[in-house]
């Protein structure tokens, strides 16, 4: 902002458009949320709870909705001015070189506030999962989680509202500003080309229909290279509008208070629609029945021993495990580091040690986690059964923690009620915890 004012190299409005209300968000965290949490951490032994703080301050998290709503426009402004202004580009590059930026781009840091509310929600869920139900903080934490979930929904609603307004503006430009459709109560449902059958001679004429939640616009194309593309010929209220099929194939009648139209679907459109349905059907079958795997990916025997070939994130719109659709806020894409599938956070909330990555813990999907853990468990139990002597088993009485037989030469004495195999499995599960 100071650079823009001093050198007048780019408008101050650009900076405001990029960062939106980030100053308000920063002040809220710097002056209220962070000091309250730091103070509570200092006195945690006397008052071990955070639910009351979050319950008090969670309603203010709705201010993230304004930032999230402006995020796409902010990205466009950054990309546009990086190309338009060399001074703007130089300033951004100098900022990104600073140590506090961690070699990350401005766009990466701008994404952090968008992800903040979902992260709060996940952290609070994990906190509640580990908190006993009879704890003093349990009820406050539950209430806080509800409030934070409301803030997340507020951000999602802001995104949906912005998308609706974008669609309305696009249609507004197609109609050359003739129709007053840019209104928060209006919702665009469907638009597209269609054939209208002439009442005089039965010939088909190319027309364009735009369906809103309250009206249907019957439009005719205008032969213009720029500007207005369609003119509104008739407006039919949805209230009282009826549709009925005709004897002619692909033909139907739309009758309303203002006008009745005999319309016919375009054959090419029907074919594209059928091809799309068939493509989705085949993809769905391949995901569910054939357990689709990327090319050159490791099979079951090589799982974890060889790096997979990851599927491109842009090619996948649904989680390859639960089939839920992805979005940029609450259902983000993640790669399974074992098989390469693109899955959601819920289906990849597991960690497993992978041999190809020096036995380090990596994010894996639920199927790979089950396979890897069962393999490790079988190896662990086999080695334990081979290495643990009956003498050492019976003589050792005090627990020695979870260590391998090569380290201890024996195992802690099992409970009388538990068999040796069951005891080994429990210890193996402890050893495999990550």
Q: Are 128 and 145 in contact (CB under 8 A)?
A: yes
Q: Smallest Cα–Cα separation from 74: which of 114, 34, 128? A: 114
Q: What digits encode the pLDDT tens for the residues 295-352?
A: 555 666 778 888 888 888 777 888 888 888 888 777 888 989 888 899 988 888 888 8
CA distance 203 to 392: 95
Q: Are 381 and 364 in contact (CB under 8 A)?
A: no
Q: Smallest Cα–Cα separation from 315: which of 261, 279, 367, 357? A: 279
Q: Which two tokens stand for residue 39?
A: 């103070």
pLDDT of residue 416: 43
Q: Which two tokens stand for residue 345?
A: 């956070």
Phi, psi of 404 (to 5 degrees): -75, 165
Pairing of the two strands 215-221 and 230-237: antiparallel
Grade residue 32 by pLDDT with cuts at 50, 70 and 90.
very high
Give me the numbers of helices (H) and strands (E) for the chain, helices first please. Answer: 14, 11
Average pLDDT on 230-251 reads 85
Superfamily, domain 297-381: Zinc/RING finger domain, C3HC4 (zinc finger) (3.30.40.10)
Q: What digits encode the pLDDT tens for the residues 120-165?
A: 888 999 999 899 888 889 999 999 999 998 888 887 887 777 788 8
If one counts every other C-beta atom within 10 angstroms of the C-beta of residue 16, the result is 15
pLDDT of residue 34: 92
DSSP 59: G
Sketch the domain layout of the chain as residue ranges.
1-182, 188-272, 297-381
pLDDT of residue 291: 46
Share of the chain above pLDDT 70, in %: 75
Architecture of the domain whose range is 188-272:
Roll (2.30)
Transcribe 4-46 into DSSP letters.
HHHH-SS-HHHHHHHHTTHHHHHHHIIIIIHHHHHHHHHTTTT
Residue whose entry in the numeric block shows the structure tokens 């809220």: 28
Average pLDDT, the chain: 78
Tell me which CATH code domain 1-182 carries. Answer: 1.20.900.10
Q: Which two tokens stand for residue 149?
A: 């979930």
DSSP 339: T
Is residue 434 over pLDDT 70?
Answer: no
Residue 52, CB-side half-sphere exposure with 13 Å CA sphere: 8
Q: Are 160 and 337 in contact (CB under 8 A)?
A: no
pLDDT of residue 5: 54
Residue whose entry in the numeric block shows the structure tokens 């027309």: 207
Grade residue 268 by pLDDT with cuts at 50, 70 and 90.
low
For residue 235, CA distances in Å to 148, 153, 241, 251 come to: 43, 35, 11, 20
* CB neighbour list of residue 88: distance below 8 Å, 6 or more residues apart: 9, 10, 14, 81, 82
CA distance 338 to 114: 28
CA distance 427 to 375: 15
Among 46-55, 137-146, 184-193, 370-379, whose mean pLDDT is lowest?
370-379
pTM: 0.46
Side by side, which strands form the sheet with 251-255? 230-237, 215-221, 204-212, 188-197, 260-264, 251-255, 242-245
Is residue 358 over pLDDT 90?
Answer: no
CA distance 396 to 381: 19
Q: Smallest Cα–Cα separation from 337: which of 307, 366, 360? A: 307
* CB neighbour list of residue 145: distance below 8 Å, 6 or more residues apart: 121, 124, 125, 128
* CB neighbour list of residue 367: distance below 8 Å, 6 or more residues apart: 321, 339
């Amino acid at each position: 902002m100071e650079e823009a004012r001093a050198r007048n190299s780019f408008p101050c409005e650009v900076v405001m458009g990029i960062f939106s209300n980030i100053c308000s968000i920063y002040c809220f965290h710097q002056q209220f949320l962070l000091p309250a949490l730091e103070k509570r951490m200092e006195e945690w032994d006397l008052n071990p709870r955070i639910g009351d703080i979050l319950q008090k301050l969670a309603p203010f998290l709705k201010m993230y909705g304004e930032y999230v709503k402006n995020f796409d426009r902010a990205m466009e402004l950054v990309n546009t001015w990086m190309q338009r202004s060399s001074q703007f580009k130089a300033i951004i590059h100098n900022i990104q070189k600073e140590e506090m930026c961690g070699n990350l781009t401005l766009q990466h840091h701008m994404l952090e506030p968008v992800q903040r509310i979902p992260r709060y929600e996940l952290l609070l869920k994990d906190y509640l999962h580990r908190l006993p139900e009879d704890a003093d903080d349990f009820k406050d934490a539950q209430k806080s989680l509800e409030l934070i979930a409301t803030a997340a929904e507020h951000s999602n609603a802001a995104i949906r509202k912005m998308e609706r307004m974008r669609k309305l503006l696009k249609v507004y430009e197609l109609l050359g500003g003739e129709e007053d459709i840019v209104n928060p109560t209006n919702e665009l449902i469907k638009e597209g080309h269609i054939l209208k059958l002439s009442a005089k001679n039965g010939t088909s004429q190319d027309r364009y229909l735009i369906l809103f939640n309250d009206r249907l616009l019957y439009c005719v194309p205008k032969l213009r290279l720029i500007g207005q593309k369609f003119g509104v010929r008739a407006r039919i209220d949805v209230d009282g509008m009826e549709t009925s099929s005709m004897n002619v194939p692909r033909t139907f009648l739309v009758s309303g208070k203002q006008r009745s139209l005999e319309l016919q679907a375009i054959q090419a459109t029907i074919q594209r629609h059928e091809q799309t349905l068939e493509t989705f059907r085949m993809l769905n079958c391949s995901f569910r029945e054939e357990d689709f795997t990327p090319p050159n990916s490791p099979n079951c025997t090589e799982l974890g021993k060889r790096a997979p070939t990851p599927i491109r994130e842009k090619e996948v719109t649904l989680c390859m495990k639960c089939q839920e659709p992805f979005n940029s806020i609450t259902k983000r894409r993640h790669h399974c580091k074992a098989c390469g599938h693109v899955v959601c956070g819920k289906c990849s909330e597991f960690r497993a040690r992978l041999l190809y990555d020096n036995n380090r813990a990596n994010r894996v999907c639920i199927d790979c986690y089950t396979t890897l853990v069962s393999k490790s468990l079988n190896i662990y139990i086999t080695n334990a059964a081979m290495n643990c002597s009956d003498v050492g088993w019976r003589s050792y009485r005090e627990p020695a923690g979870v260590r391998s037989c090569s380290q201890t030469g024996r195992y802690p004495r099992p409970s009388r009620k538990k068999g040796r195999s069951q005891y080994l499995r429990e210890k193996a599960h402890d050893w495999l915890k990550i």
